[in-house]
Amino acid sequence: MAKNVLITGAASGMGLLLSQCYAREGANVAMADVNEEGLRACAEEIRGYPANVLELALDVRKYDEVERACGRVAEAFGGIDILINCAGGAECRILGVSGEFQNIPVEVFDYGIDLNLKGVIYFDHAVMKHMARQKSGVIIHLGSITGLEGCPDSVAYSASKSALMFGMTKSIALAGAKYNVRCVAIAPGPVLTRPGMANMKTMAGRAADPQEIVDLIMFAAGDKGRFINGTYILADGGRNVMLNKT
């Protein structure tokens, strides 16, 4: 039976690659992104695979849009089996802001928290309603090595990723336990979704190919990962070990 998969941030990066991989496997794929034009083009390409594809142009920071979109997915596919929260990014990079922490307008950090943390809470909340009814499901959070390292250039991003990897993933796993809903966070190190990532040092001597992280996400979300719950998996090429060695 085909899985019903909802992916945020699906018009680029790992969200797009996940959409393509699930579509190749014949899953029903709901692609959510704020970039409506890019989303339409990506969804059209994926329709060449043996899959049903649903486009959801929305802003993850707006709960009414999130809730409506989740309802559309459940109605179109008959349920939601997997939610993968890929939408997000470093607020200062996205907004083109630079400078020392104390000189950055606080509205920039509001944006970062809304995008990287509240957007995930919104999707988890809306999707859990459907997963609780069907008494099954998997929710994936996309963490980051930055959630362990900290980052003075995008404080809200780092704080959000820490929250997702620790308290949020544990809390959603506890909330979903009686409904057979798992929650797992995948925390990548540098990934070649942007050229700048290649400059981040790892023990492996390179950044990850996006497919390596996507494969891990799909494993954790699939039947072979069904004993993984309430925790995060770090896939960073040894960066955290290298930076914290004594």
Q: Which residue has the tokens 């925790």?
A: 231
- 118 burial (CB, 10 Å; 0-12 / 13-18 / 19+) is middle
What pTM value is reported for the model? 0.96
Contact 18, 214 (CB under 8 A): yes
Residue 245: predicted pLDDT: 66
Burial (CB count within 10 angstroms: exposed 0-12, middle 13-18, buried 19+), residue 227:
exposed
- Of 209, 36, 185, 75, nearest to 124 (Cα)? 185
Q: Read off the pLDDT of residues 141-192 as tens digits, 9 standing for 90 and up.
A: 999 999 999 999 999 999 999 999 999 999 999 999 999 999 999 999 999 9
Active site residue 22: no
* Catalytic residue (one of 22, 157, 179, 232): 157
pLDDT of residue 1: 73
pLDDT of residue 244: 76
Mean pLDDT within 29-49: 94
- Name which residue leads in pLDDT, 246 or 207: 207
| Strand partners of residue 188 | 235
32, 17, 22: which is closest to 62 by C-alpha?
Answer: 32
Residue ranges and CATH numbers for the domains of the chain are 4-243 (3.40.50.720)
Q: What is the mean pLDDT of residues 19-34?
A: 96
Band of pLDDT at residue 2, cut at 50, 70 and 90? confident
Question: For 83-104, how does the pLDDT look when each residue is reduced to its tens digit (9 = 90+)?
Answer: 999 999 999 999 999 999 999 9
